[in-house]
Amino acid sequence: MTLLLVALGAAIGAPLRYLTDRYVQARYGTGFPWGTLAVNAVGSLVLGFLLGQPLSPGLTALLGTGFCGALTTYSTFSWETLTFARRGEQATAVAYVLVSLLTGLGAASLGAITAQAL
Amino acid sequence: MDLDVDRRALAAVSAGGVLGALARYAIGAAWPHTSSEFPWSTWLINVSGCFLIGVLFTLLAHFRPGHRLTRLFLGTGLLGGYTTFSTAEVEVQHATPAIGLGYLAATITGALLAVWAGSTLAALGTRPRHEAPVDAR
């Protein structure tokens, strides 16, 4: 049962990440990975919120492990950073890493604080 | 806005994402941790996923440059669903300050070294074995 819930969450989270990336690229171009940054921040916010709540193991599997886990990505983020570095855009690579980590941590904390306030 | 997204692309990303997330769940279940311990399972998942995406995207660019669905299934779907940014950030937040900082640094350092190593090794593997020296051509 838990496996099915993880699978269901991921079946929605992964294509939502892809669609977000496509949408952001169509609108803002391919210069900076705003799409990956956005899904990683939103996923961290939602997961921070969820884990700050009393949540059943089933919902944790569906929304946490499945949906948020598949919505966010470390592999694409690191590939994009490597691509900047190889193009000689070291400053952009460093900025992308710092902005991603700080936004993610801030979003996770904001989610947890919101969960406590409710 | 017309995104021109076809259903096969969505299906490839979704199917890959499911497989990746199940693999991540299995590793996490086999190797659990409490908030006072270093989250080794997530660290391993993210670092190995970054190594594999370095290998995959480098090999695909060389051997299958036009194979969009393979890239979407294995890269965006499987490895994107396998690795997780949100869990890593929340684990930093939930850990003790010392473990959290160490984990944050170990994850980003490990991930970037891994994607570079994977890509570099794959690029070595795609070189012809008996390449003529550039001057001799």
Shortest Cα distance from A31 to chain B (angstroms)? 18
pLDDT in tens, B58-93: 999 999 888 999 999 999 999 999 999 999 999 999
Contact B21 A74 (CB under 8 A): no
Residue identified by tokens 């994607």 is: B115
Whether the CB of B13 is below 8 Å from some CB of chain A: the reply is: yes
Residue identified by tokens 């904390």 is: A109
- pLDDT of B132 > 60? The answer is no
Residues of B in contact with A112 (CB under 8 A): 93
Residues of B in contact with A81 (CB under 8 A): 112, 115
**Of the partner residues B3, B49, B93, the one whose CB lies closest to the CB of residue A48:** B93
Scored b (16 or more CB within 10 A) or e, B41-50 reads: bbbebbbbbb
Domain residue spans in chain A? 2-117
Task: Tell me the C-alpha distance between A13 and A71, whole Å.
Answer: 4
pTM: 0.93
Could you tell me if A21 and A79 are in contact, meaning their C-beta atoms sit under 8 angstroms apart? no
User: ipTM of the assembly?
Assistant: 0.96
What integer pLDDT is reported at residue B36 of this predicted model?
84
**Of the partner residues A15, A48, A101, the one whose CB lies closest to the CB of residue B104:** A101
**Of the partner residues A13, A100, A109, the one whose CB lies closest to the CB of residue B93:** A109
Is residue A118 very low, low, confident or very high in pLDDT (cuts 50, 70, 90)? confident
What integer pLDDT is reported at residue B35 of this predicted model?
77
What integer pLDDT is reported at residue B3 of this predicted model?
61
pLDDT in tens, A62-92: 999 999 999 999 999 999 999 999 999 999 9
Backbone angles phi, psi at A48, to 5 degrees: -60, -40
